[in-house]
Protein backbone atom coordinates (compact mmCIF):
# COMPACT_ATOMS: atom_id res chain seq x y z
CA UNK A 1 0.00 0.00 0.00
CA UNK A 2 1.48 3.29 -1.11
CA UNK A 3 0.69 6.37 0.96
CA UNK A 4 -0.60 9.50 -0.83
CA UNK A 5 2.41 11.45 0.46
CA UNK A 6 4.72 8.97 -1.25
CA UNK A 7 2.97 9.62 -4.56
CA UNK A 8 3.29 13.35 -3.92
CA UNK A 9 7.02 13.07 -3.27
CA UNK A 10 7.63 10.92 -6.36
CA UNK A 11 5.37 12.79 -8.78
CA UNK A 12 3.84 16.02 -7.54
CA UNK A 13 6.87 17.74 -6.01
CA UNK A 14 8.96 17.48 -9.20
CA UNK A 15 6.04 18.82 -11.28
CA UNK A 16 5.54 21.77 -8.96
CA UNK A 17 9.28 22.50 -8.84
CA UNK A 18 9.41 22.37 -12.63
CA UNK A 19 6.54 24.85 -12.87
CA UNK A 20 8.14 27.19 -10.33
CA UNK A 21 11.46 26.97 -12.17
CA UNK A 22 9.79 27.76 -15.48
CA UNK A 23 8.02 30.75 -13.92
CA UNK A 24 11.23 32.08 -12.40
CA UNK A 25 13.16 31.72 -15.64
CA UNK A 26 10.52 33.06 -18.03
CA UNK A 27 8.76 35.80 -16.07
CA UNK A 28 11.57 36.78 -13.70
CA UNK A 29 14.41 36.16 -16.18
CA UNK A 30 16.50 34.17 -13.73
CA UNK A 31 19.35 31.88 -14.65
CA UNK A 32 19.22 28.19 -13.79
CA UNK A 33 21.88 28.56 -11.08
CA UNK A 34 19.84 31.19 -9.21
CA UNK A 35 16.63 29.18 -9.60
CA UNK A 36 18.40 26.09 -8.25
CA UNK A 37 19.61 28.09 -5.27
CA UNK A 38 16.13 29.41 -4.53
CA UNK A 39 14.50 25.98 -4.81
CA UNK A 40 17.24 24.16 -2.92
CA UNK A 41 18.07 21.80 -5.76
CA UNK A 42 21.01 21.43 -8.13
CA UNK A 43 21.41 23.32 -11.40
CA UNK A 44 21.36 20.00 -13.31
CA UNK A 45 17.94 19.30 -11.74
CA UNK A 46 16.69 22.64 -13.09
CA UNK A 47 18.08 21.70 -16.50
CA UNK A 48 16.13 18.43 -16.38
CA UNK A 49 12.95 20.32 -15.46
CA UNK A 50 13.55 22.78 -18.31
CA UNK A 51 14.05 19.99 -20.84
CA UNK A 52 10.96 18.18 -19.47
CA UNK A 53 12.98 15.11 -18.59
CA UNK A 54 11.98 15.41 -14.93
CA UNK A 55 8.76 16.79 -13.47
CA UNK A 56 6.28 15.66 -16.07
CA UNK A 57 4.24 13.03 -14.23
CA UNK A 58 1.12 15.16 -14.46
CA UNK A 59 -0.03 18.26 -16.31
CA UNK A 60 -1.12 21.10 -14.05
CA UNK A 61 -0.73 23.91 -16.58
CA UNK A 62 -4.51 24.24 -17.08
CA UNK A 63 -5.30 24.19 -13.36
CA UNK A 64 -5.91 27.89 -12.73
CA UNK A 65 -5.89 27.68 -8.94
CA UNK A 66 -2.63 25.72 -8.90
CA UNK A 67 -1.04 27.98 -11.50
CA UNK A 68 -1.94 31.06 -9.45
CA UNK A 69 -0.44 29.56 -6.30
CA UNK A 70 2.74 28.75 -8.22
CA UNK A 71 2.91 32.24 -9.73
CA UNK A 72 2.54 33.77 -6.26
CA UNK A 73 5.22 31.52 -4.80
CA UNK A 74 7.60 32.22 -7.69
CA UNK A 75 7.03 35.95 -7.34
CA UNK A 76 7.80 35.84 -3.62
CA UNK A 77 10.90 33.73 -4.30
CA UNK A 78 12.06 36.16 -6.98
CA UNK A 79 11.71 39.07 -4.55
CA UNK A 80 13.54 36.98 -1.95
CA UNK A 81 10.90 37.90 0.61
CA UNK A 82 10.11 34.42 1.93
CA UNK A 83 11.52 32.80 5.03
CA UNK A 84 12.33 29.11 4.80
CA UNK A 85 9.23 28.39 6.89
CA UNK A 86 7.00 30.49 4.62
CA UNK A 87 8.41 28.70 1.56
CA UNK A 88 7.50 25.34 3.07
CA UNK A 89 4.01 26.52 4.02
CA UNK A 90 3.38 27.88 0.49
CA UNK A 91 4.70 24.71 -1.15
CA UNK A 92 2.55 22.54 1.15
CA UNK A 93 -0.48 24.65 0.27
CA UNK A 94 0.08 23.85 -3.41
CA UNK A 95 0.37 20.13 -2.66
CA UNK A 96 -2.73 20.17 -0.42
CA UNK A 97 -4.69 21.92 -3.15
CA UNK A 98 -3.61 19.34 -5.73
CA UNK A 99 -4.68 16.53 -3.40
CA UNK A 100 -7.96 18.19 -2.41
CA UNK A 101 -8.92 18.63 -6.07
CA UNK A 102 -8.33 14.91 -6.69
CA UNK A 103 -5.60 15.61 -9.24
CA UNK A 104 -3.30 12.96 -7.81
CA UNK A 105 -5.82 10.10 -7.69
CA UNK A 106 -5.05 8.54 -11.09
CA UNK A 107 -1.32 8.57 -10.30
CA UNK A 108 -1.99 6.92 -6.96
CA UNK A 109 -4.00 4.18 -8.70
CA UNK A 110 -1.13 3.67 -11.16
CA UNK A 111 1.22 2.95 -8.27
CA UNK A 112 -1.33 1.07 -6.18
CA UNK A 113 -4.05 -0.69 -8.23
CA UNK A 114 -6.01 -1.48 -5.05
CA UNK A 115 -6.96 2.21 -4.69
CA UNK A 116 -10.60 2.81 -5.63
CA UNK A 117 -10.48 6.39 -6.90
CA UNK A 118 -14.26 6.62 -7.16
CA UNK A 119 -14.77 5.90 -3.45
CA UNK A 120 -11.55 7.15 -1.90
CA UNK A 121 -11.87 10.62 -0.44
CA UNK A 122 -8.80 10.33 1.78
CA UNK A 123 -6.83 13.21 0.30
CA UNK A 124 -9.69 15.68 0.50
CA UNK A 125 -10.54 14.59 4.05
CA UNK A 126 -6.91 14.67 5.18
CA UNK A 127 -6.38 18.05 3.54
CA UNK A 128 -9.25 19.53 5.53
CA UNK A 129 -7.95 17.92 8.73
CA UNK A 130 -4.46 19.36 8.15
CA UNK A 131 -5.82 22.84 7.56
CA UNK A 132 -8.08 22.79 10.63
CA UNK A 133 -5.44 21.44 13.00
CA UNK A 134 -4.13 24.10 15.46
pLDDT digits (tens, 9 = 90+) for 69-121: 999 999 999 999 899 999 999 999 999 999 888 888 888 878 878 877 777 77
Which has the minimum average pLDDT: 20-24, 27-31, 66-70, 130-134? 130-134
Better-predicted residue by pLDDT, 113 or 44: 44
Confidence (pLDDT) at 128: 47
pTM of the predicted structure, to 2 decimals? 0.86
Tell me what pLDDT residue 17 has.
Answer: 96
Chain segment 45-61, per-residue pLDDT in tens: 999 999 999 888 889 99
> What one-character DSSP code corresponds to residue 54?
S
Rounded CA separation 45/49 (Å): 6
CA 72 from centre of chain: 13
Report DSSP state, residue 108. Answer: H
With bands split at pLDDT 50, 70 and 90, how would you rate the model's confidence at 134? very low
Q: Which residue has the higher pLDDT, 55 or 42?
A: 42
SS3 10: helix
Looking at residue 5, its pLDDT comes to 81
Amino acid sequence: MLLPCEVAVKCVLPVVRAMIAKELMTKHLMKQVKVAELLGVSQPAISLYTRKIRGRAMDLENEIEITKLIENLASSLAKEELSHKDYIVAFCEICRTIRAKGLMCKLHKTFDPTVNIEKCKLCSVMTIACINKP
